[in-house]
Amino acid sequence: MTRIKKIGVLTSGGDAPGMNAAIRAVTRTAIYNELEVIGIRHGYKGLIEENFKQLKSHSVSDIIQRGGTILKTARCHEFKTSQGRKQAYENLKKNNIDGVVVIGGDGTFTGARIFNEEYDIPFVGVPGTIDNDIYGTDYTIGYDTALNTVAEAVDKIRDTASAHNRLFFIEVMGKESGFIALRSGIACGAEAILIPEIKNQLASLKSQLEDGFKRKKSSNIIIVAEGEEEGGAFQIADKVKKDFKDYSVRVTVLGHIQRGGSPTSFDRVSASRLGYAAVEALCDDQKSSMVGIQHDKIALVPFRKAVKLHKEISKEMLEIANILSI
Protein backbone atom coordinates (compact mmCIF):
# COMPACT_ATOMS: atom_id res chain seq x y z
CA MET A 1 0.00 0.00 0.00
CA THR A 2 1.24 3.48 -0.83
CA ARG A 3 2.01 5.83 2.02
CA ILE A 4 0.34 8.65 0.06
CA LYS A 5 -2.97 9.66 1.64
CA LYS A 6 -3.34 13.31 0.65
CA ILE A 7 -1.94 15.17 -2.35
CA GLY A 8 -1.71 18.78 -3.41
CA VAL A 9 -1.97 20.16 -6.94
CA LEU A 10 -0.82 23.54 -8.24
CA THR A 11 -0.27 25.40 -11.49
CA SER A 12 2.79 27.63 -11.82
CA GLY A 13 4.41 29.95 -14.35
CA GLY A 14 2.62 30.94 -17.54
CA ASP A 15 -0.91 29.64 -17.97
CA ALA A 16 -1.75 27.28 -20.83
CA PRO A 17 -5.04 25.99 -22.25
CA GLY A 18 -5.63 22.51 -20.84
CA MET A 19 -4.35 23.18 -17.32
CA ASN A 20 -7.92 22.90 -16.02
CA ALA A 21 -8.29 19.53 -17.73
CA ALA A 22 -5.12 18.39 -15.93
CA ILE A 23 -6.41 19.66 -12.57
CA ARG A 24 -9.64 17.76 -13.18
CA ALA A 25 -7.77 14.55 -14.02
CA VAL A 26 -5.50 14.84 -10.98
CA THR A 27 -8.44 15.46 -8.66
CA ARG A 28 -10.65 12.66 -9.90
CA THR A 29 -7.85 10.12 -10.22
CA ALA A 30 -6.82 10.86 -6.65
CA ILE A 31 -10.39 10.53 -5.39
CA TYR A 32 -10.74 7.23 -7.29
CA ASN A 33 -7.66 6.03 -5.40
CA GLU A 34 -9.24 7.17 -2.11
CA LEU A 35 -6.85 10.09 -1.66
CA GLU A 36 -7.72 13.55 -0.42
CA VAL A 37 -6.93 16.42 -2.79
CA ILE A 38 -5.85 19.94 -1.86
CA GLY A 39 -5.81 22.68 -4.46
CA ILE A 40 -2.95 25.14 -3.97
CA ARG A 41 -3.85 28.56 -5.34
CA HIS A 42 -1.35 30.87 -7.06
CA GLY A 43 1.38 28.26 -7.53
CA TYR A 44 4.43 28.21 -5.26
CA LYS A 45 3.31 31.51 -3.77
CA GLY A 46 0.20 29.76 -2.45
CA LEU A 47 2.39 26.99 -1.10
CA ILE A 48 4.33 29.52 0.97
CA GLU A 49 1.25 31.49 2.02
CA GLU A 50 -0.80 28.34 2.79
CA ASN A 51 -3.48 29.28 0.27
CA PHE A 52 -5.09 25.84 0.24
CA LYS A 53 -8.59 24.53 -0.47
CA GLN A 54 -9.96 21.01 -0.58
CA LEU A 55 -11.06 19.74 -3.97
CA LYS A 56 -13.95 17.33 -4.42
CA SER A 57 -15.18 15.72 -7.62
CA HIS A 58 -17.80 18.45 -8.09
CA SER A 59 -15.08 21.11 -7.60
CA VAL A 60 -13.71 20.25 -11.04
CA SER A 61 -17.02 19.88 -12.87
CA ASP A 62 -17.50 22.00 -15.98
CA ILE A 63 -13.86 23.09 -16.26
CA ILE A 64 -12.38 20.76 -18.88
CA GLN A 65 -13.36 23.17 -21.68
CA ARG A 66 -12.13 26.32 -19.95
CA GLY A 67 -8.84 28.07 -20.64
CA GLY A 68 -6.62 29.48 -17.91
CA THR A 69 -6.50 27.74 -14.53
CA ILE A 70 -9.06 27.67 -11.72
CA LEU A 71 -6.19 27.48 -9.23
CA LYS A 72 -4.60 30.63 -10.66
CA THR A 73 -0.89 30.88 -11.28
CA ALA A 74 1.99 33.15 -10.34
CA ARG A 75 5.74 33.43 -10.51
CA CYS A 76 7.26 33.22 -7.04
CA HIS A 77 10.72 34.57 -6.21
CA GLU A 78 10.37 33.50 -2.55
CA PHE A 79 10.35 29.83 -3.54
CA LYS A 80 13.81 30.33 -5.05
CA THR A 81 15.14 30.98 -1.53
CA SER A 82 15.87 28.30 1.07
CA GLN A 83 13.70 30.17 3.56
CA GLY A 84 10.74 30.17 1.17
CA ARG A 85 11.07 26.46 0.47
CA LYS A 86 11.31 25.75 4.21
CA GLN A 87 8.05 27.62 4.78
CA ALA A 88 6.42 25.68 1.95
CA TYR A 89 7.57 22.39 3.49
CA GLU A 90 6.23 23.36 6.91
CA ASN A 91 2.85 24.22 5.40
CA LEU A 92 2.71 20.89 3.58
CA LYS A 93 3.56 18.99 6.76
CA LYS A 94 1.09 21.04 8.79
CA ASN A 95 -1.70 20.06 6.37
CA ASN A 96 -0.57 16.40 6.13
CA ILE A 97 0.06 16.65 2.38
CA ASP A 98 2.15 13.65 1.30
CA GLY A 99 2.87 14.57 -2.32
CA VAL A 100 2.34 17.37 -4.84
CA VAL A 101 1.52 17.47 -8.55
CA VAL A 102 3.01 20.58 -10.14
CA ILE A 103 1.69 21.68 -13.54
CA GLY A 104 3.96 24.08 -15.42
CA GLY A 105 7.14 24.45 -17.41
CA ASP A 106 10.90 24.68 -17.01
CA GLY A 107 10.92 27.13 -14.10
CA THR A 108 8.26 25.15 -12.25
CA PHE A 109 10.23 21.93 -12.58
CA THR A 110 13.48 23.62 -11.53
CA GLY A 111 11.86 24.68 -8.26
CA ALA A 112 10.37 21.23 -7.73
CA ARG A 113 13.72 19.52 -8.34
CA ILE A 114 15.52 21.71 -5.79
CA PHE A 115 12.72 21.19 -3.25
CA ASN A 116 12.96 17.41 -3.63
CA GLU A 117 16.71 17.54 -3.07
CA GLU A 118 16.06 19.23 0.29
CA TYR A 119 12.84 17.65 1.56
CA ASP A 120 11.12 14.27 1.59
CA ILE A 121 7.71 15.23 0.17
CA PRO A 122 7.65 13.97 -3.44
CA PHE A 123 6.80 16.28 -6.34
CA VAL A 124 5.72 14.99 -9.75
CA GLY A 125 5.41 17.34 -12.72
CA VAL A 126 2.94 17.70 -15.57
CA PRO A 127 4.31 19.72 -18.55
CA GLY A 128 2.03 22.69 -19.18
CA THR A 129 3.37 25.40 -21.49
CA ILE A 130 2.36 26.58 -24.94
CA ASP A 131 6.03 26.71 -26.00
CA ASN A 132 6.40 22.89 -26.16
CA ASP A 133 10.05 23.30 -25.16
CA ILE A 134 10.26 20.73 -22.35
CA TYR A 135 12.68 17.85 -22.90
CA GLY A 136 11.21 14.37 -22.47
CA THR A 137 7.73 14.92 -23.90
CA ASP A 138 6.59 15.19 -27.49
CA TYR A 139 3.81 17.60 -26.57
CA THR A 140 3.11 19.91 -23.66
CA ILE A 141 -0.34 20.98 -22.51
CA GLY A 142 -1.48 24.08 -24.40
CA TYR A 143 0.80 23.74 -27.42
CA ASP A 144 -1.84 22.38 -29.79
CA THR A 145 -4.37 25.05 -28.78
CA ALA A 146 -1.80 27.80 -29.32
CA LEU A 147 -1.04 26.44 -32.80
CA ASN A 148 -4.71 26.48 -33.72
CA THR A 149 -5.07 30.03 -32.40
CA VAL A 150 -2.15 31.19 -34.55
CA ALA A 151 -3.43 29.37 -37.63
CA GLU A 152 -6.88 30.92 -37.31
CA ALA A 153 -5.43 34.42 -36.93
CA VAL A 154 -2.98 34.06 -39.81
CA ASP A 155 -5.67 32.71 -42.14
CA LYS A 156 -7.64 35.92 -41.59
CA ILE A 157 -4.56 38.10 -42.02
CA ARG A 158 -3.73 36.38 -45.32
CA ASP A 159 -7.13 37.39 -46.70
CA THR A 160 -6.31 41.07 -46.30
CA ALA A 161 -2.67 40.56 -47.30
CA SER A 162 -3.79 39.13 -50.66
CA ALA A 163 -6.33 41.87 -51.21
CA HIS A 164 -3.79 44.67 -50.78
CA ASN A 165 -0.48 43.14 -51.99
CA ARG A 166 0.89 43.34 -48.48
CA LEU A 167 3.88 41.82 -46.77
CA PHE A 168 2.90 40.74 -43.27
CA PHE A 169 5.32 40.00 -40.45
CA ILE A 170 3.47 38.06 -37.75
CA GLU A 171 5.14 37.65 -34.37
CA VAL A 172 4.32 34.57 -32.31
CA MET A 173 5.48 33.52 -28.86
CA GLY A 174 8.78 31.73 -28.38
CA LYS A 175 11.57 33.71 -26.71
CA GLU A 176 13.97 30.78 -26.65
CA SER A 177 12.33 28.23 -28.92
CA GLY A 178 10.70 28.20 -32.33
CA PHE A 179 8.28 25.30 -31.91
CA ILE A 180 5.15 27.46 -32.23
CA ALA A 181 6.57 29.46 -35.14
CA LEU A 182 7.77 26.42 -37.11
CA ARG A 183 4.68 24.25 -36.87
CA SER A 184 2.17 27.10 -37.21
CA GLY A 185 4.17 28.47 -40.15
CA ILE A 186 3.84 25.16 -41.97
CA ALA A 187 0.14 24.96 -41.10
CA CYS A 188 -0.46 28.47 -42.45
CA GLY A 189 1.63 28.12 -45.59
CA ALA A 190 4.01 30.90 -44.52
CA GLU A 191 6.53 32.07 -47.10
CA ALA A 192 9.24 32.24 -44.42
CA ILE A 193 9.66 31.25 -40.78
CA LEU A 194 12.25 32.88 -38.50
CA ILE A 195 13.15 31.06 -35.29
CA PRO A 196 15.87 31.47 -32.62
CA GLU A 197 17.45 28.08 -33.39
CA ILE A 198 18.52 29.12 -36.91
CA LYS A 199 21.10 31.90 -37.21
CA ASN A 200 21.66 34.51 -39.92
CA GLN A 201 18.22 34.21 -41.52
CA LEU A 202 17.86 37.81 -42.70
CA ALA A 203 19.83 37.38 -45.92
CA SER A 204 17.94 34.23 -46.92
CA LEU A 205 14.66 35.97 -46.09
CA LYS A 206 15.42 38.82 -48.48
CA SER A 207 16.34 36.31 -51.18
CA GLN A 208 13.04 34.49 -50.69
CA LEU A 209 11.12 37.74 -50.92
CA GLU A 210 12.94 38.73 -54.11
CA ASP A 211 12.06 35.37 -55.71
CA GLY A 212 8.45 35.80 -54.67
CA PHE A 213 8.31 39.31 -56.10
CA LYS A 214 9.69 38.11 -59.45
CA ARG A 215 6.99 35.44 -59.53
CA LYS A 216 4.43 38.17 -58.80
CA LYS A 217 3.23 36.69 -55.54
CA SER A 218 0.29 38.76 -54.33
CA SER A 219 1.12 38.39 -50.63
CA ASN A 220 3.75 37.14 -48.24
CA ILE A 221 3.30 35.91 -44.69
CA ILE A 222 6.44 35.83 -42.55
CA ILE A 223 6.17 34.09 -39.17
CA VAL A 224 8.66 35.42 -36.60
CA ALA A 225 9.33 33.88 -33.18
CA GLU A 226 9.65 36.69 -30.63
CA GLY A 227 13.14 35.48 -29.64
CA GLU A 228 14.62 35.49 -33.17
CA GLU A 229 18.18 36.81 -33.09
CA GLU A 230 17.49 39.64 -35.57
CA GLY A 231 14.81 40.98 -33.23
CA GLY A 232 11.03 40.80 -33.11
CA ALA A 233 8.67 41.32 -36.03
CA PHE A 234 8.88 45.13 -35.89
CA GLN A 235 12.68 45.18 -36.01
CA ILE A 236 12.88 42.70 -38.87
CA ALA A 237 10.19 44.53 -40.82
CA ASP A 238 12.18 47.75 -40.52
CA LYS A 239 15.28 45.99 -41.86
CA VAL A 240 13.59 44.66 -44.99
CA LYS A 241 10.94 47.24 -45.90
CA LYS A 242 13.46 49.61 -47.55
CA ASP A 243 14.36 46.86 -50.05
CA PHE A 244 10.75 46.06 -50.97
CA LYS A 245 9.07 49.36 -51.64
CA ASP A 246 6.42 47.78 -53.85
CA TYR A 247 5.06 45.90 -50.88
CA SER A 248 2.94 47.52 -48.19
CA VAL A 249 4.63 46.15 -45.05
CA ARG A 250 2.52 45.43 -41.99
CA VAL A 251 3.30 43.89 -38.60
CA THR A 252 0.98 41.95 -36.30
CA VAL A 253 1.99 40.74 -32.84
CA LEU A 254 -0.37 38.00 -31.72
CA GLY A 255 0.81 38.16 -28.11
CA HIS A 256 -1.19 36.65 -25.28
CA ILE A 257 -4.17 35.54 -27.34
CA GLN A 258 -2.00 32.45 -27.93
CA ARG A 259 -2.35 31.53 -24.26
CA GLY A 260 -6.10 31.94 -24.08
CA GLY A 261 -9.15 30.18 -25.36
CA SER A 262 -10.84 26.84 -24.94
CA PRO A 263 -8.36 23.96 -25.25
CA THR A 264 -8.51 21.71 -28.29
CA SER A 265 -9.65 18.11 -27.96
CA PHE A 266 -6.02 17.03 -28.33
CA ASP A 267 -4.94 19.20 -25.38
CA ARG A 268 -7.87 18.03 -23.27
CA VAL A 269 -7.04 14.38 -23.83
CA SER A 270 -3.29 14.89 -23.33
CA ALA A 271 -3.91 16.82 -20.10
CA SER A 272 -6.26 14.09 -18.87
CA ARG A 273 -3.67 11.39 -19.58
CA LEU A 274 -0.87 13.32 -17.92
CA GLY A 275 -2.92 14.27 -14.85
CA TYR A 276 -3.91 10.65 -14.37
CA ALA A 277 -0.31 9.49 -14.84
CA ALA A 278 1.02 12.02 -12.30
CA VAL A 279 -1.22 10.66 -9.54
CA GLU A 280 -0.31 7.08 -10.44
CA ALA A 281 3.37 8.04 -10.23
CA LEU A 282 2.93 9.46 -6.73
CA CYS A 283 1.08 6.32 -5.68
CA ASP A 284 4.04 4.31 -7.00
CA ASP A 285 6.39 6.35 -4.75
CA GLN A 286 7.95 8.29 -7.61
CA LYS A 287 9.47 11.70 -6.92
CA SER A 288 11.36 14.50 -8.62
CA SER A 289 10.06 13.42 -12.02
CA MET A 290 7.85 14.65 -14.84
CA VAL A 291 5.26 12.58 -16.68
CA GLY A 292 5.48 13.10 -20.43
CA ILE A 293 4.20 11.65 -23.67
CA GLN A 294 6.72 9.92 -25.94
CA HIS A 295 5.50 8.22 -29.12
CA ASP A 296 1.96 8.32 -27.68
CA LYS A 297 3.05 6.47 -24.53
CA ILE A 298 3.35 7.87 -21.01
CA ALA A 299 6.99 8.25 -19.93
CA LEU A 300 8.54 9.20 -16.59
CA VAL A 301 11.41 11.69 -16.94
CA PRO A 302 13.61 12.89 -14.03
CA PHE A 303 13.37 16.62 -13.40
CA ARG A 304 17.14 16.92 -13.80
CA LYS A 305 16.81 15.75 -17.43
CA ALA A 306 13.63 17.67 -18.19
CA VAL A 307 15.27 20.88 -16.96
CA LYS A 308 18.86 20.50 -18.11
CA LEU A 309 18.56 18.80 -21.49
CA HIS A 310 17.61 20.79 -24.58
CA LYS A 311 14.71 19.79 -26.79
CA GLU A 312 15.80 19.96 -30.41
CA ILE A 313 13.82 21.38 -33.29
CA SER A 314 12.90 18.69 -35.83
CA LYS A 315 15.21 18.77 -38.84
CA GLU A 316 12.47 17.12 -40.88
CA MET A 317 10.06 19.94 -40.05
CA LEU A 318 12.67 22.53 -41.01
CA GLU A 319 13.20 20.82 -44.36
CA ILE A 320 9.45 20.63 -44.98
CA ALA A 321 9.09 24.34 -44.19
CA ASN A 322 11.87 25.26 -46.62
CA ILE A 323 10.60 23.08 -49.46
CA LEU A 324 6.97 24.11 -49.19
CA SER A 325 7.76 27.82 -49.07
CA ILE A 326 9.02 28.00 -52.69
Classified as helix, coil or strand, 310 is coil
What single DSSP character describes residue 141? Answer: B
Q: Cα dihedral angle (193, 199, 232, 158), rounded to 10 degrees? A: -10
- Could you confirm whether 131 is annotated as catalytic? yes
Q: What are phi and psi of 56, to 5 degrees?
A: -110, 175
CA distance 166 to 184: 20
Cβ neighbours of 213 (radius 10 Å): 15
Beta bridge partners of 128: 141
Three-state SS for 92-130 is: HHHCCCCEEEEEECHHHHHHHHHHHHHCCCCEEEEEECC
Cβ neighbours of 193 (radius 10 Å): 28
Query: Per the residue annotation, which of 15, 98, 131, 144 is the catalytic one?
Result: 131
Show which residues are catalytic.
Answer: 131
